[in-house]
A = this chain, B = another copy of it.
């Protein structure tokens, strides 16, 4: 696993790591249930401190994207493991969408502008997903899934 660290920029390293992983999960590059590199491993690969990786992982864990399992490893969450059940799921998405909308409205963007931008961005993300997924390029192979439940 490789993550490009934008050496001189203002975004902190732990966020760059987290954002990249989130992106990879969103796009399907990291399959759900897949095991992430260990903290030590990724720290070594990227040449950063273990604590920095821990911080990135913990952030994602709190956000519900991955699951840090003491003594076992770190895994991409399966939707079913997410904020408990169906009703929870729906409310969570409501909250998530509401946040972005509230923020945009409070910054003075017009509803139509927001709507259009949203639609375009979502299409862009979907396209990104489709380009990654259908290839079955190693990461999502049987092997990757086999480990998932372990």
Binding site for B on A (CB under 8 A): 4, 6-8, 12, 19, 22-23, 25-27, 32, 47, 49, 61-65, 67-71, 77-79, 81-85, 87-109, 111, 113-115, 117-119, 121-122, 124-126, 128-129, 139, 149-150
Contact = CB atoms under 8 A, between A and B. Distances in A.
B102 A22 contact: yes
Contacts of A103: 22, 26, 63, 96
A55 B89 CA distance: 28
Contacts of A26: 101-103, 105-106
Secondary structure type dominating chain A contacts: helix
B78 A124 contact: no
B113 A88 contact: no
Nearest to A110: B79
A60 B99 CA distance: 14
A125 B108 contact: no
Given A22-B102, A93-B104, 11 more contacts: A22-B103, A26-B101, A26-B102, A26-B103, A92-B95, A96-B104, A97-B100, A97-B118, A98-B125, A101-B125, A118-B118
Contacts of A70: 12
Contacts of A25: 105-106
A12 B70 CA distance: 8
